[in-house]
Amino acid sequence: MPIEAQRDPFEALFLGDDGLDEEALDALLAGVEHDEAPTDGRDRVLREVSFADRFAEYAAPLSKILDVHENTAAELLAGLDNTLEWGTERALPMLKSIWVDGGPAVQQSVRGFVRIAAGETFPAHGHLGKETCIVLQGYMEMDDGRVLAPGDVYSATVDDHHSFRARPGGPDLLYFVVVREGITIGNASLRHRD
């Protein structure tokens, strides 16, 4: 009597006449306990899934830009998906922000996380001091044609003027920025809060 090769049970599921072997499916599911799906399934999953580590790879560069210990940078990054912390700027309604403290090297600076909805534009602005930013999510399309992707670091100098937009059709643009002294937009300015 020849030895019969054992079939993979998942392969066996698709060997029936109608494309699905009901007997093989029943055998796989035998003894599997399951509950009815909760009516608030999506909300429950989103509450239970931890996004705490999705920006972890940026802790080292953020710690250098913000002049803080890497553990502090990691904690800040882990809290970004808590939508309760995001504030809005009256003068820049397309912008949501979380302004943070930093080390001695970034005092007298505007510093924080900025979120701009996909397709929205940050208007032309000037810099009162050096700017450094790191893109964490989405794409920053600069007015000179450059596109910055997650992990890219951008620097601007005093009196640089530019605008950018969050690439449409993708995720919101999320980046961290430090600007010495602040920025000017037309006759208005956003200055440090130290």
Q: Which pLDDT score, from 0 to 100, does residue 93 have?
A: 80
Determine the average pLDDT of the residues in 49-59.
Answer: 79
Strands, sheet with 161-166, edge to edge from the N-terminal-most edge strand: 147-148, 140-142, 161-166, 121-127, 182-185, 188-191
Q: Which pLDDT score, from 0 to 100, does residue 182 have?
A: 82
Do the domain assignments include residue 44?
A: no
Q: What is the CATH number of the domain that holds 95?
A: 2.60.120.10
Do the domain assignments include residue 158?
A: yes
- pTM, two decimal places: 0.71
Do the domain assignments include residue 13?
A: no
Neighbours of 187 (CB within 10 A): 5
Q: Is the pLDDT of residue 14 over 60?
A: no
Distances (CA, A) of 68 to 65, 82, 102, 104: 8, 21, 6, 9
Contact between 163 and 121 under an 8 Å Cβ cutoff? The reply is: yes
pLDDT confidence tier of residue 12, bands split at 50, 70 and 90: very low
Cα dihedral value 152, 158, 160, 164, nearest 10: 40
Do the domain assignments include residue 3?
A: no
Q: Is the pLDDT of residue 15 over 50?
A: no
Phi and psi at residue 39, to the nearest 5°? -70, -25
Considering its fold, how many domains does the chain have in total?
1
Do the domain assignments include residue 137?
A: yes
Percent of the chain with pLDDT over 70: 71
Do the domain assignments include residue 47?
A: no
Can you tell me the distance from the alpha carbon of 145 to that of 143, in angstroms, rounded to the nearest whole number? 5
Determine the average pLDDT of the residues in 53-67.
Answer: 94
Amino acid at site 63: S
Domain span holding position 144: 56-191
Q: Is the pLDDT of residue 105 over 80?
A: yes
Do the domain assignments include residue 154?
A: yes
Q: Is the pLDDT of residue 187 over 90?
A: no
Do the domain assignments include residue 25?
A: no
